[in-house]
Chain A
Amino acid sequence: MLRAPSAGTHLRNWFYGYAAPERGAITLGHRRVYILPTRLGWMFGATLGLLLVGSINYALQLGFALTFLLAGMGLAGMVHTVRNLARLTVDAGRAEPVFAGEAAQFRLILDNRAPHDRPAVLVRHAASGAQGVLDLPSASVREAVLAVPAPRRGWLPLGRVVLETRYPLGLFRAWSYVEPDVRCLVYPRPERVPLPAPAAADEAGAQRVHATGSDDFAGLRGYQLQDSPRHVAWKAVARAEDMLTKQFSGASGAELWLDEARLPAALDTEARLSRLAGWTLAAEQSGARYGLRLPGVKKRPDRGAAHQAACLQALALHGIE
């Protein structure tokens, strides 16, 4: 009737201690908490050896007691170090999209449901070394923000995160790997170029569609260099006010098409996407309605944060998904 998961999968998961990447909250079972002595731990061991030899040589029974108490303390410290990580619950928060070249802000939520506190837990991104140290009081939730560099557009998965602690004695280092299934969308690096002038628009790849009907006047905004002279509120200029541009609303208003196909052929794909991303930002800022045309993708002209995000996402994932 039902098919059980294959034995091989179980074995691999057991051996590596995790099945990457994991969805939802991850609770660190003790099997995936690794532990080894630190350099201080070895030094402590050497000290114990010295104390033991001294106790034997001078027949110091209280010396034996001291040595063994310290040895027992090392043992208890080892267990306490494991305890500082084991059964900690790790969950990933949403990572807001960033532009290539910026740092993705991954949020890890550490949930300590234990009745004891967990001091000095290091959260470290394995690939980039982004890190933070957290003190987790008992029954508390804390957030670690990992600033992971995002050099390329597309999806940036969080990847492996190391949780590490040396509490309480510093003699042992316990660590665990988690790989939450979370990724950050990375937009292309925007090229900071102005929108092309209307005359050159066609050649540059941005195509303005001029309205023929009567537009609904929507308001005035500050003049920007690339604004058409036809939209300048000349009456206001005549009143010696600042240069203002008339804004129009409605489907028949000024529309701008950002079209990949019309960009100079000399540009490579990434440069094209960078330019289009830059124009998307500029267009959104100008308040114009703009659409995006990529091979296989067409975003109808619109404006607003959601539209901008959709356009940038299309650019980010172009050719990837």
Chain B
Amino acid sequence: MTAAHPLLPEQRAIAPRELLGLIASLVLVAAPHALRMPWWLALAVAGLYAWRAQLGLSGAKLPPRWMLLLVAVLAIAAVYVEYRTLYGRTTGIVLLVLFSGLKLIEMRTHRDAAVVAFLCYFLAMTNLLYTQSIATALLLAVALLSTTATLVSLTAPQRPAAANLRTAGMLLVHAAPAALVLFLLFPRVQGPLWGLPQDAYAAMTGLSDSMSPGTVSQLAQSDAIAFRAEFEGQPPSPRERYWRGPVLWDFDGRTWRMGASWIDSFDTPRGAGPYDYVVTLEPHNRSWMFVLEQVARLPARARITHDGMVVSPAPLRARLRYDASSLALPEPGRAERPGSLRRALALPDAGNPRARALAAGWREGGADAQTILQRALGFFVSGGLGYTLEPPLLGPDTVDDFLFDTREGFCEHFSSAFVYLMRAAGVPARVVTGYQGGEVNYVDRIITVRQSDAHAWAEVYLAGRGWVRVDPTAAAVPGRVESGIARSVRAGDSLPLLMRPQLEWLRGLRANWEALAHRWNVWVLGYGVERQRDLMLRIGMRDADWRKLTAAMATILGAFTLLLLAWSLRRFARPDRVQRAWEAFARKLARGGLVRAPHEGPRDFARRAAERLPAARPAIEAIAELYLAARYGRAPSGERIFELERRVRSLSIA
């Protein structure tokens, strides 16, 4: 007997308009993934979408279930062939995108359509695993709007599409305050809830714990930002900006490695020229943090290793903001342990005979370390060594090949050869990697350090002075540290696009864009445990733990919902003064138990009231007369309306 419920989504067939809306939303969220997929898989997904669109528009029957199953098995096999696994973040997302196409093809009812819309929201989220840039946010905002508009059109299929789009926009606008409150107050926790797949951080770039010919120069091809630094006051000059990273001790003839490293106590160095600054470090999945040499105050919770590398307790997988302080002119540090000095002299037993001979020559006559250093620098200054981003391949004797044959290299060649020569000459030395320079944005004065600023230099141990920085690249190619890579490499070498000097206007545009992007990074993407605590302190909430935050969140959200409800239930049209006065009169009598019947006219009501309340008879009759005259007579004067209001107010029915 009971007919089908016409609002049940399970019983409503999908119409072409909703179908196309869904496909458009899916395309928006799947397109960035498609760019990361092999082209033929992307094509397969596009084919599935197009197939469903065609089926929907022509009104043809959907393919049978066994055919879908076959396509699904084929898709899984294709993904396996491409990635050799079905586990992991990237393959998971590729499978999800493929299944969105399959789900589309078996979609018949509004319920299925809603499920696809939820899938759209989910796919939107997966894009953030790769990038959280402003551009991504804008794309996702558009996708959110179109998906929501499709959801709205599922419940209101008869309405014009523009009206549904407007409703979706209004919903998002109404959602924004609640979203902001949740975003600011939702308690943040540090670190992942469970182990992440191996490829989770594959996309992060940065310096590694080893260096062999080609590693740094490869990194230097990248425009990606390594970190940004905001200085209080004037920043140091470019040649002073050595951002210290991993220190490499052990050499096997080709590769420099960090080797054993341990946490040491931090002795605050004395010296002049302190700089205070805040670094916003991009995640690089390693634990070291970059600070300016020589660090005078460690960032919060950071430790320092015996060789002066600042490290955080865990790999940095989220953008991190930290305060630090450094000295431009430090006083000599403490003496190094003998064990470390022995390690700083170790070399492979054989290889690079010409370099060894050169170093042996510098030691002649019992020269001290200072003299040897001068001789080595002299060799680099006058050696005619060239600087290139595309160094030629080296043979097994990497140092000899670079110094005497190819004579062209990048900073890793210079530093590697220099440290080798120093050790061969009996002077303790080590390789330090990090970043050098960085570009000051003239809009917000923030220094941006890119992967292309990656650098490697050397440190030698001089008795009485401790470890001293020596940059053999700067000695050979002074332009490198004065004005960056762009002016140092030979014409014809390929440079990262934005480093080309011809594109000055482009750099201006980029400066503005990056100032905005930096604010985005700091305020949106960098809003973690630390910044939340800071913000809560600033608005007066001491030790904001999750209980306090949740309570505040719930309170504000409740108030907001009530406000929204009040807005949606506001009176549609305020009655005029005459009507309001009459309603006040009726309410007054109703409080005394004399309720006006719906069919009762003003005259009848007044008569009945006068009979029940003989004491108030004159007042009631006067009010009725005034109301009738104002309502049905000529346009009433303001005085008459006032009279009516006054009489209603002073009416007493006690």
Q: Considering the chains assembled together, what is the distance between the CA atoms of A60 and B1 in angstroms?
A: 52
CB pair A164 B7 closer than 8 Å: yes
Closest A residue to B521 by beta carbon equals A61
CB pair A66 B193 closer than 8 Å: no
Binding-face segment, A45-53, A152-160, A305-313: A45-53
Taking a contact as CB atoms closer than 8 A, the residue among A63, A76, A169 that contacts B564 in the complex is: A76
Within 8 A of B (CB), among A125-143: 128-131, 133, 135
Give per-residue flags for A20-50: 1 if the beta carbon is below 8 A from chain B beta carbons, else 0: 0001110000100000001010011001001
Give B residues with C-beta under 8 Å from A: 1-3, 5-7, 9, 110-111, 114-115, 118, 121-122, 124-125, 128-129, 132, 136-137, 140, 144, 148, 151-152, 154-159, 163, 167-168, 171-172, 174-180, 182-183, 186, 189, 191-194, 196, 200, 317-318, 524-528, 557, 560-561, 564-565, 568-569, 572-573, 591-594, 598-599, 612-613, 653
Contacts of A2 in B (CB 8 A): 592-594, 612-613, 653
Nearest Cβ in chain A — how far from B457, in angstroms?
33
Contacts of A130 in B (CB 8 A): 3
Binding-face segment, A67-75, A209-217, A255-263: A67-75
Additional pairs, 14, CB under 8 Å, beyond known A61-B528, A68-B180, A70-B175: A1-B592, A1-B653, A4-B592, A30-B565, A47-B121, A62-B524, A69-B175, A71-B182, A80-B171, A80-B568, A83-B568, A86-B568, A113-B572, A131-B3
Contacts of B568 in A (CB 8 A): 79-80, 82-83, 86
CB pair B612 A47 closer than 8 Å: no
CB pair B6 A24 closer than 8 Å: no
Q: Considering the chains assembled together, what is the distance between the CA atoms of A114 and B572 in angstroms?
A: 6
A233: Cβ under 8 A from any B Cβ: no
Given the interface pairs A69-B179, A80-B171, A119-B156, the reply to whether A51 lies near B528 with Cβ below 8 Å is: no
CB pair A82 B565 closer than 8 Å: yes
Q: Considering the chains assembled together, what is the distance between the CA atoms of A65 and B5 in angstroms?
A: 36
CB pair B118 A68 closer than 8 Å: no
CB pair B178 A76 closer than 8 Å: yes
CB pair B137 A62 closer than 8 Å: yes
A–B complex contacts, Cβ < 8 Å, 26 sampled: A1-B653, A24-B598, A43-B118, A57-B192, A57-B194, A60-B125, A61-B132, A61-B524, A61-B525, A62-B132, A64-B186, A65-B137, A67-B125, A68-B180, A70-B121, A71-B175, A71-B179, A71-B182, A73-B148, A76-B171, A79-B564, A79-B565, A129-B1, A129-B2, A167-B152, A169-B152
Taking a contact as CB atoms closer than 8 A, the residue among B175, B192, B318, B572 that contacts A75 in the complex is: B175
A282: Cβ under 8 A from any B Cβ: no
CB pair A131 B528 closer than 8 Å: no
A198: Cβ under 8 A from any B Cβ: no
CB pair B7 A122 closer than 8 Å: yes
Nearest Cβ in chain B — how far from A109, in angstroms?
15
A166: Cβ under 8 A from any B Cβ: yes
CB pair B7 A165 closer than 8 Å: yes
Closest A residue to B573 by beta carbon equals A113
Q: Considering the chains assembled together, what is the distance between the CA atoms of A139 and B186 in angstroms?
A: 41
A235: Cβ under 8 A from any B Cβ: no
Q: Considering the chains assembled together, what is the distance between the CA atoms of A40 and B115 in angstroms?
A: 8
Taking a contact as CB atoms closer than 8 A, the residue among B5, B186, B196, B524 that contacts A68 in the complex is: B186
Contacts of A196 in B (CB 8 A): none
Nearest Cβ in chain A — how far from B140, in angstroms?
7
Nearest Cβ in chain A — how far from B191, in angstroms?
8
A56: Cβ under 8 A from any B Cβ: yes
Q: Considering the chains assembled together, what is the distance between the CA atoms of A83 and B192 in angstroms?
A: 41
Q: Considering the chains assembled together, what is the distance between the CA atoms of A160 and B573 in angstroms?
A: 29
Q: Considering the chains assembled together, what is the distance between the CA atoms of A73 and B145 in angstroms?
A: 11
* Number of A-B residue pairs at CB separation under 8 A: 207
Taking a contact as CB atoms closer than 8 A, the residue among B158, B177, B179, B527 that contacts A61 in the complex is: B527
Within 8 A of B (CB), among A145-175: 164-170, 173
Q: Considering the chains assembled together, what is the distance between the CA atoms of A166 and B151 in angstroms?
A: 11
Q: Considering the chains assembled together, what is the distance between the CA atoms of A75 and B562 in angstroms?
A: 11
CB pair B182 A72 closer than 8 Å: yes
Within 8 A of B (CB), among A70-125: 70-73, 75-80, 82-83, 86-87, 113-115, 117, 119-120, 122, 124
Contacts of A54 in B (CB 8 A): 125
Contacts of B156 in A (CB 8 A): 119-120, 135, 167-168
Given the interface pairs A4-B593, A57-B194, A82-B565, the reply to whether A133 lies near B179 with Cβ below 8 Å is: no
A11: Cβ under 8 A from any B Cβ: no
CB pair B561 A75 closer than 8 Å: yes
Contacts of A23 in B (CB 8 A): 598
Q: Considering the chains assembled together, what is the distance between the CA atoms of A56 and B121 in angstroms?
A: 17
CB pair A76 B599 closer than 8 Å: no
CB pair B172 A69 closer than 8 Å: yes
Nearest Cβ in chain A — how far from B183, in angstroms?
5
A230: Cβ under 8 A from any B Cβ: no
Closest A residue to B564 by beta carbon equals A79
A3: Cβ under 8 A from any B Cβ: yes
Q: Considering the chains assembled together, what is the distance between the CA atoms of A135 and B158 in angstroms?
A: 8
CB pair A56 B193 closer than 8 Å: yes
Closest A residue to B118 by beta carbon equals A47
Nearest Cβ in chain B — how far from A29, in angstroms?
9
Q: Considering the chains assembled together, what is the distance between the CA atoms of A30 and B569 in angstroms?
A: 8
Contacts of A167 in B (CB 8 A): 152, 155-156
CB pair A79 B561 closer than 8 Å: yes
CB pair A72 B179 closer than 8 Å: yes
Contacts of A114 in B (CB 8 A): 572
Closest A residue to B589 by beta carbon equals A2
Q: Considering the chains assembled together, what is the distance between the CA atoms of A78 and B180 in angstroms?
A: 18
Nearest Cβ in chain B — how far from A159, in angstroms?
14
Nearest Cβ in chain B — how far from A42, in angstroms?
11
Closest A residue to B163 by beta carbon equals A117
CB pair A68 B183 closer than 8 Å: yes
A5: Cβ under 8 A from any B Cβ: yes
Contacts of B144 in A (CB 8 A): 66, 69-70
A59: Cβ under 8 A from any B Cβ: yes
Nearest Cβ in chain A — how far from B25, in angstroms?
14
Given the interface pairs A47-B118, A56-B189, A167-B155, the reply to whether A66 lies near B1 with Cβ below 8 Å is: no
CB pair A68 B178 closer than 8 Å: yes
Given the interface pairs A51-B122, A73-B148, the reply to whether A65 lies near B171 with Cβ below 8 Å is: no
Closest B residue to A133 by beta carbon equals B6
Closest A residue to B565 by beta carbon equals A79
Closest A residue to B133 by beta carbon equals A62
Taking a contact as CB atoms closer than 8 A, the residue among A47, A73, A124 that contacts B171 in the complex is: A73
